[in-house]
Chain A
């Protein structure tokens, strides 16, 4: 019986040097560029489907179009009507899913680990919005999509979920799309970010 320790890989080629973090092959590159792109695919991603007016929704306490961190530091995103996605450090999906299974007793709730479904990319830097404006038609103004805004749109013509999740007061966006498009989206963002001097940064846990 072959039962080797598996190595998890992102759909996005890691920029060298490469390291292994929580069983994931990741880029260990260090960048201090003003605008940085990071492959955050290893983050745990758990999807919740439930009635938007039900007990589960009240417990999650995040409306459609918004995102916020809960007490445990998990980023809870109101991803769509009656739909949430929770982002947490790598490897935490099983615990998170277990916790969510008990969200609402007697209510029809589905919890699914979608870590492997989605490629996840973070853009950080003041020019992140300018970059996104080249590939996404949504208004990224503070008055329309402030920190904590979440929306689904076309980014470089790929259906992508975008979450404004500023980091240490720097503008930052999380973008996730179906995993198979991950490398394409990453390359499209790199191309768009070239004029802003964007650089690839490595993934450092907890990453969220």
Chain B
């Protein structure tokens, strides 16, 4: 139980501010490292903590130095915290909520007394690349190293027990997508929308406005006008608390959206016709000794704290300023009651040397030798242009030494830039530039939209008038001079996220890493969560200084996606895993069928005892759901030609009412699929494929019809799901059929084996049935309009009760087909099994005019040196060699393999199918099967593939 409540209205909380975003009427508490802390709605986690007097929020990556506020924004590197089960939350951005449990990350035993801070004493032992230098040898110790290193791994605690998380995706097709909702972004959005464009305006912060939010009264008035204009325009969709994470070819833009009530994070996959990059500028830190101490803040950070959250950032400040932002911060600080101990103006030659203090800034040393007591050191030395998205679009940032920052090069046609990233100037100049860019973006988008619609059959007819092809005039923005302030005379932190100092970069250059790209990877500078937005320019400047080159000569590193981290949940989205089920699936579930996942189908594997199911089919009658069998309705006078083309056997003389088994081969003669096709009418056929084969076969058929024989008059319609398919098998099946089938003479003479009939089953019209089966029993395969599948299934089970009917699953069917020696494509064949190897020689008709695979099969016919599919019975009938067991000769020569094996309930012994070398294929040959345990079992090659009823007496009964 916490003993003290840190109040939202503590000494650090200021009175109402003109632009504050906190709601003083809505006050609540949350927990920080277990202590109850007060906050206002609108506070960020860190602003609430700062208001409560907290100064340290995390420990640094390598040295575990205490870290506080630096930017008070999304990228603040010292403000990553754990919120409940969510690690690495950006505390200076995330709004605090009532009851939140917030903890500091990776500290032990506490944030205040962190044992790992001892690393600071080991600075000399942790040089750049120390991983590579330290842990290379001996290799045997690497597991031990890993255990230790894992203890030091930064970041929060990832849990896999979170069940309330919801992540998803959305597609968007804006005409103009604007990255950045500051004044330029808003002005561009309104201008583009006024020209008729559909605009998606994305802003990282919770509100639109950028720097206007912490600006003057005039800035706030402009902000209100811009916000009103955006809100009033229906063509502008606003996404706040969202980040444009990436831009890929074709303006495929990824946006991480977080401002949703029921979704943790959503990935927007936007196809923007034009992308406008308007991210503003990011204030650059200054490198000097102690620059990462709590209490050292950027000018924009103190302005955010004071103006947005009404938090007093310190009591006594030194301000190091080189620009107007620093001057404005001084004014804000004075208004907030912060004592300005010293203003150090870089424009007048002033400079810092170091900040000192235990646990935070206590004293600032200046270049003029002065030492000033202060708990706050504010720096305002310059800006970084986040050209990330422009770099992703193929641009290269160009350094301007006058402005001491990088500027984007000319972007491609479908990308524009506006705002501070492009230049300086007054607010009016920026807005004028943005409006021109917005209008131009709309114009370019309209041209792209028109071109896209022209090729789209669903779109309304396109206005034949050409859109205005002349580009709008975009005014230039001035570029202000700015001092090149990157590093003081002392060394300090360059990359706050990775704990990389300027000394480390000097060291890397001395070691030969004279390329900025290599030095980046060696030191890991710019590779932390801030991803270079704070530290890249300083890293380049320090590297240039160390290498004795200019910044322009040094160049920049490459900014790659994502601009800001995206959760793995958002990248994954919802688990779209389509599944297919038959109309009888509810019955299977009610009767405890064990599910078998076969591709996208869920099928009943068995209902408890597959062997009993086999015995019942052999003795009585069983039914199996075979709905997943691929089915195609084939129509037209040229169907026989198509069948002859697809199958290896002949189809020209298939009579109406007959069905025939067929095998398809690929052009290389390899078995592709098999099934039966029946002729239901003069020009109407139904083809079945394997359960896993319909997609492949359909592509095969369409390729034949669309590319090879477009002149054939054939229509092929996939009807797999149209019919609930079930096989009725067993000696009692005819009796059962007689009880449910109308209009069909079921006498064996009238409806013999391999015939098809249309009829009415259990009162359902539009059914067809054929006398075939995979089990070797007298059987009927029924195909019933799918909506009636369950009705027919339940009727069969009902009326067949006295015939001892029972359902059987895939496992029982597989046992029975193995007893009958039927092979399964894909199990008993593989990607190398030709038709002759599979024992299909009688089926292959090489005297046909042509068919797929014929040339290769002609060649295969003359070659005996191929493996042959044979039936095998282990000599020890109790041993079932696992499928895949090798057949060997001598000690290790592989001469075949077992492809299918089961214990046969019918024969009371083990049975197999397998491939053997040619010299072992003759009946009676004994082969040696090597078992997984290293043992061996001899097996006999059988005369027929069928172990049971090889003459087929039962199925023809």
Contact = CB atoms under 8 A, between A and B. Distances in A.
A180 B261 contact: no
A205 to B, nearest CB: 16
Nearest to A144: B459
A78 B457 CA distance: 10
Contacts of B760: 3
B172 A9 contact: no
A178 interface: yes
Interface in A133-162: 133-139, 141, 143-146, 149-151, 156-158
B460 A9 contact: no
Nearest to B456: A144
Contacts of A191: 574
Contact of B582 (A63, A78, A150, A180): A180
Contacts of A63: 457
Given A144-B456, A151-B458, A184-B579, A1 B742 contact: yes
Contacts of B601: 180
B173 interface: yes
Nearest to B601: A180
Q: How large is the interface on B (under 10, 10 to 19, 20 to 34, 35 or more residues)?
A: 35 or more
A156 B633 CA distance: 27
Nearest to A7: B791
Interface stretch (A30-38, A53-61, A106-114, A165-173): A106-114
Contacts of A5: 763
A143 to B, nearest CB: 6
A49 B764 contact: no
A4 B799 CA distance: 11
A133 B170 contact: yes
A73 B330 CA distance: 74
A157 B600 CA distance: 12
Contact of A144 (B173, B722, B790, B791): B173
Contact of A65 (B458, B718, B791): B458
B786 A116 contact: yes
Contacts of A110: 635-636, 715, 717
Contact of B717 (A9, A11, A114, A146): A114
Nearest to A114: B722
Contacts of A185: 578
Interface string A109-135: 010111111100000000000000111
B763 A181 contact: no
B722 A179 contact: yes
Contacts of B271: 139
Contacts of A139: 173, 271
A174 to B, nearest CB: 14
Given A143-B449, A179-B786, A184 B171 contact: no
B347 interface: no
Nearest to A49: B715
B721 A180 contact: yes
A2 B458 contact: no
B786 A134 contact: no
A118 to B, nearest CB: 8
Nearest to B723: A116
Given A144-B459, A157-B578, A180-B580, A3 B762 contact: yes
A116 B785 contact: yes
Contacts of A113: 766
B697 to A, nearest CB: 15
A192 B166 CA distance: 11
Which of B269, B271, B764: most chain A Cβ within 10 A? B764
A98 interface: no
Contacts of B591: none
Interface in B784-817: 785-792, 795, 798-799
B335 interface: no
B680 to A, nearest CB: 12
Contact of A143 (B261, B460, B766): B460
B787 A116 contact: yes
Given A2-B795, A6-B764, A66 B458 contact: yes
B557 interface: no
Interface in B732-783: 739-740, 742, 760, 762-764, 766
Given A6-B762, A11-B581, A65 B456 contact: yes
Most chain B beta-carbon contacts within 10 A, residue among A63, A110, A138, A179:
A179
A74 interface: no
A13 B842 CA distance: 48
B549 to A, nearest CB: 47
Contacts of B198: 141
A195 B261 contact: yes
B460 A146 contact: yes
Interface string B453-471: 1001111100000000000
A69 B580 CA distance: 31
B578 A156 contact: yes
A4 B574 CA distance: 43
A27 interface: no
Contacts of A115: 785, 787
A20 interface: no
A1 B738 CA distance: 7
Nearest to B458: A149
A47 interface: yes
Contacts of A6: 762-764, 788, 791-792
A2 B721 contact: no
B196 to A, nearest CB: 10
Given A8-B787, A65-B456, A143-B453, 5 more contacts: A2-B799, A4-B762, A49-B715, A114-B719, A188-B574
Interface of A: 1-11, 13, 24, 41, 47, 49, 63-66, 78, 108, 110, 112-118, 133-139, 141, 143-146, 149-151, 156-158, 178-181, 183-185, 188, 191-192, 194-195
Interface of B: 168-173, 198, 260-263, 269, 271, 449, 452-453, 456-460, 574, 576-583, 586, 600-601, 627-628, 633, 635-637, 713, 715, 717-723, 739-740, 742, 760, 762-764, 766, 785-792, 795, 798-799
Of all A-B residue pairs in the complex, the 5 with the closest CB atoms, nearest first, are A65-B457, A180-B580, A149-B458, A8-B787, A139-B173
